[in-house]
Amino acid sequence: MIYLETPKKHRALVDQVHQVAMNMLRPVSRKYDLAEHEYPKELDMLAAMADGLDQSGASEGAGATGVRRSADDDTSNKNGSNMASALSVLEMCWGDTGLTLAMPRQGLGNSAIASVATDAQLEKFKGTWASMAITEPSFGSDSSAITTTAKKDGDAYVLNGEKIFVTSGERSDSIVVWATLDKSLGKAAIKSFVVTKDMPGVKVERLEHKLGIRASDTAVITFTDVRVPAENLLGNPEINVQEGFAGAMATFDNTRPLVAAMAVGCARASLDLTRDLLAQAGVEIDYDKAATLQHAAAAKFLQLEADWEAAHLLTLQAAWMADNKKPNSLEASMSKAKAGRVGSDVTLSCVELCAGIGYSEAELLEKWARDSKILDIFEGTQQIQQLIVARRVLGLSSSELK
């Protein structure tokens, strides 16, 4: 049985993270939105606190590495670290999405490592801050089109290629790079490698200027004859044509619910502020009265909140399934598709409801509308999630439904 409400065991964590988001992220939100590419030094203390909580066990496994699925054979219903991570990232993004994405040692690459690394690799890369590099100049959505190459040479792989749009690409100290061992063998030959920034041949070429999440750096990185130790290949080095892309794609089953949770958190921030601003303007939202009998702004708010709730529940479901070792590719994509769309719709609708105040920099509503859009784009766009959902529901393969 799934109870889709905040699990009791995680309520203290949610409260704590909410306080952090309110008192440490919100006060510097606008500052780092305006100072694009400036490192948010306030995050160092926060990251140290998160590390401490992690080591003491008080964070209940929340964070980028919380997506690792436990190997125990306990079949009891549990709310574990996937749920804790989703709930805490939701609260953090209620504070600020860009700053959350810029948190040291909480990169998407950390989640990728946690998802597929062996225990020995997990130990080796403990404490690293890892970004994730899949996208290249020649493709975005179609990750099977990877052209970055990894050629085996003795006890190392030699990587060559260019990656674009790498979140935290400048600030991270390692990068999980997707590369092909042999392009002629298709998707099965695509593997991921942990490349550290100090390896000769790694070069951050430039940073992007962006619509939103400006506190987060987005880099172009080139790899020229980079020698990566063979043990830095994550997962199975064999090219298993039967398995195809499934191994590499498993990462997304864990990370998509997290991105969905980010969208849910950012949208919640917009709803909370909008409710306050509407109240100040004399519009009260009455949950006991039909929407059609209320002020048009209140009726719109209720509709947005209902949509938000659906996204919220789908996100919790996808995280719960990961904690309970249930295959969740369908639900992970559903949550990402729904939350990505709802996040953009809610944040922009809140700007509309608050009109002049919503659009001006006096409040953060306009920033949240800009920040939320990326959550409907990276880790698979809205359209790609819908494609995956359709394939799963109809039982069609990627070659049958493109």
Ligand X SMILES: Cc1cc2nc3c(=O)[nH]c(=O)nc-3n(C[C@H](O)[C@H](O)[C@H](O)COP(=O)(O)OP(=O)(O)OC[C@H]3O[C@@H](n4cnc5c(N)ncnc54)[C@H](O)[C@@H]3O)c2cc1C
**Active site residues per annotation:** 379
* 134 sits near ligand X (criterion: CB under 6 A): yes
In the set 30, 151, 210, 392, which binds ligand X (CB under 6 A)? 210
**Contact region with ligand X (CB under 6 A), list: 35-43, 75-83, 129-137, 344-352:** 129-137
Residue recorded with tokens 């990894």: 150
Degrees to nearest 5, angle at CA 141 with 135 and 145: 65
Structure tokens at 389: 């959902």
Q: Following DSSP, what letter does each residue of 117-178 receive, concatenated? A: --HHHHHHTTT--EEEE--BTTBSS-GGG---EEEEETTEEEEEEEEEEEETTTT-SEEEEE
Tell me which residue of 269, 212, 165 sits closest to 36, measured CA to CA. Answer: 212
- Other C-beta atoms closer than 10 Å to the C-beta of 320 total 24
CB of 396 to ligand X, least distance (A): 13
**Contact region with ligand X (CB under 6 A), list: 45-53, 161-169, 319-327, 363-371:** 161-169
Cβ closer to ligand X: 83 or 176? Answer: 176
Look at residue 227 and give its three-state secondary structure: strand
CB of 231 to ligand X, least distance (A): 23
* 201 sits near ligand X (criterion: CB under 6 A): no
Look at residue 267 and give its three-state secondary structure: helix
* 301 sits near ligand X (criterion: CB under 6 A): no
Distance of CA 20 to the CA centre of its chain: 19
* 135 sits near ligand X (criterion: CB under 6 A): yes
Cβ closer to ligand X: 60 or 379? Answer: 379
Cβ closer to ligand X: 216 or 349? Answer: 216
Cβ closer to ligand X: 30 or 210? Answer: 210
* 166 sits near ligand X (criterion: CB under 6 A): yes
* 384 sits near ligand X (criterion: CB under 6 A): yes
Binding map of ligand X across residues 343-382, x = CB under 6 A, - = no contact: -------------------------------x--xx--x-
In the set 108, 179, 273, 388, which binds ligand X (CB under 6 A)? 108
* 133 sits near ligand X (criterion: CB under 6 A): yes
CB of 378 to ligand X, least distance (A): 4
CA–CA distance, 313 with 260 (Å, rounded to integer): 11
- Sign, CA torsion 137/141/147/149: positive
* 220 sits near ligand X (criterion: CB under 6 A): no
Which residue number has the CB closest to ligand X?
140
Report which secondary-structure segment, H or E, holds 50. Answer: helix 42-56
Q: Using N-to-C axis directions, what is the helix angle for 81-95 and 246-280, rounded to 10°?
A: 40
* 167 sits near ligand X (criterion: CB under 6 A): yes
> Do residues 82 and 323 lie in contact, with contact meaning Cβ atoms separated by under 8 Å?
yes
* 165 sits near ligand X (criterion: CB under 6 A): yes
- What are the residues binding ligand X (CB under 6 A)? 108, 131-135, 140-141, 165-167, 210, 218, 374, 377-378, 381, 383-384, 387, 402
